[in-house]
Structure 1
Amino acid sequence: MRLYHNHLSSNGRRVLMVAEQLGLPLDIVNVDLGSDSDRARLREINANGKVPLLEDGDFLLSESCAIMQYLCDITPGQQLYPQDARVRADVNRWLFWGSQHFAETISILSFEHIWKAMIGMGEADPAMVARAEGELRQLGAVLDGHLAQRDWLVGDALSLADIGVVTPLMYLERAKLPLGEFANLMRWFDRLRQLDLWKNSGPA
């Protein structure tokens, strides 16, 4: 299987973490997102023009959460994506929450504090930063409360839910994410950062 990826992508990192946990080898195709030619080649196989993209024979699959689920579904005996309908629904709930709310809000702060200056669009917009920080604190409180009496988001072991939600936190410091006050959240993040699948999948 081949994965089109860029090391700056937290969505791609999700897929790498799952593949490592499952012991699935992936041939990594590095996509330079700053290269017009690389982007053009990517759009030829993914109309969205985004990474990650999984190529498994003649099957092309975009969207990181869908790729994560697919890798689990083709791996017999895996434990990351439980078969029980209610447990799996709970995992899906956190995957959707992470993608729709948590990662989306973090992406605003990442753009304002990191990428905006890199692409020559000037300084961070204080109004945008303030709004996103307020929203992220609300989301952080939800996550922190859920983790108050548990080590993992779903059940008593690592699952796709943890991997799906945690990866945008790779930009905790650089994007100035206002989450340090949430002790349960930070303890969970520190636990995940100690795992080899985190260390081997991208920047610390």
Structure 2
Amino acid sequence: MRLFHNTLSSNGRRVLMVAEQLGLPLDIVQVDLMSESERARLHEINPNGKLPVLDDGGFLLWESCAIMQYLCDITPGQTLYPQDARERADVNRWLFWGSQHFAETVSILSFENLWKAMIGMGEPDPDEVARAEGQLKQLGAVLDTRLAERDWLAGDALSLADIAVVAPLMYLDQARLPLRGFPHLMRWFDRLRQLDLWKNTEAG
């Protein structure tokens, strides 16, 4: 299987962490998003022009959470994505929340505080930063409450829920994410950072 990826992508890192935990080898194809020709080729395999994209023998799959689920579904005996309907629904809840709310808000601060200057688009917009910081603090409170008396987001062990939600925190410091004041969230993040799936997927 090939994964079209860019090391700056937290969505791609989600997939890498799942593959690492499952012991699935992936042939990584690095895509230079600053290259017009490579962006054009990316549109040929994903009409959205976004990463990551999985190529499994000609089966092209985009959307990171869909890829994560697929990797689990083709791996016998895996425990990241439970079979029980309610347990799976609980994991799905956090997959969707992580994509629609948490990662989306993190991406605003990543753009304003990190990428904007790197691509020559000027200084952060203070109004946009303030709005996103307020939203992220609300979301951080949701996570902190959830993790106050539990080690993992769903069930009693690591699952796709944890991997999906934690990935954007790779930019905790660079994007100046206002989350360090949430002790249960940070305890959970520190636990995940000690795992091989985090250490082995850090950009070299």
TM over 0.5: yes
Query: Distance in 1 between the 2:37 and 2:202 partners?
Result: 24
Query: Distance in 2 between the 1:154 and 1:184 partners?
Result: 15
- TM alignment of 1:1-204, pairs within 5 A: 1-203=1-203
Q: Tell me the percent identity.
A: 80
Kindly provide the amino acid, as one letter, of the partner of residue 92 in structure 1: N
Cα distance, 1:82 vs structure 2: 0.3
Aligned length: 204
The Cα RMSD (Å) is 0.8
Query: Distance in 1 between the 2:114 and 2:191 partners?
Result: 25
Normalising by structure 2, we get a TM-score of: 0.99
Cα distance, 1:76 vs structure 2: 0.5
User: SS at the partner of 2:60?
Assistant: strand
Normalising by structure 1, we get a TM-score of: 0.99
Query: Distance in 2 between the 1:45 and 1:17 partners?
Result: 22
Kindly provide the amino acid, as one letter, of the partner of residue 48 in structure 1: N
On the 8 A contact 1:170/1:203 being kept in 2, the answer is: no
Query: Distance in 1 between the 2:24 and 2:173 partners?
Result: 31
Query: Distance in 1 between the 2:28 and 2:203 partners?
Result: 16
Cα distance, 1:44 vs structure 2: 1.1
Over residues 138-179 of structure 1, what are the superposed CA-to-partner deviations in whole Å (9 max), with x where a residue is unaligned?
000000000000000011110000000000000000000000
Unaligned runs of 5+ in 2: none
User: SS at the partner of 2:128?
Assistant: helix
Over residues 48-105 of structure 1, what are the superposed CA-to-partner deviations in whole Å (9 max), with x where a residue is unaligned?
1111000001200000000000000000010000000000000000000000000000
Kindly provide the amino acid, as one letter, of the partner of residue 32 in structure 1: D
Unaligned runs of 5+ in 1: none
Query: Distance in 2 between the 1:49 and 1:98 partners?
Result: 21
User: SS at the partner of 2:110?
Assistant: helix
Kindly provide the amino acid, as one letter, of the partner of residue 33 in structure 1: L
Query: Distance in 1 between the 2:171 and 2:28 partners?
Result: 22
Kindly provide the amino acid, as one letter, of the partner of residue 59 in structure 2: F
User: SS at the partner of 2:28?
Assistant: strand
Query: Distance in 2 between the 1:153 and 1:33 partners?
Result: 32
User: SS at the partner of 1:68?
Assistant: helix
Query: Distance in 1 between the 2:40 and 2:202 partners?
Result: 25
Kindly provide the amino acid, as one letter, of the partner of residue 187 in structure 1: R
Query: Distance in 1 between the 2:57 and 2:29 partners?
Result: 15
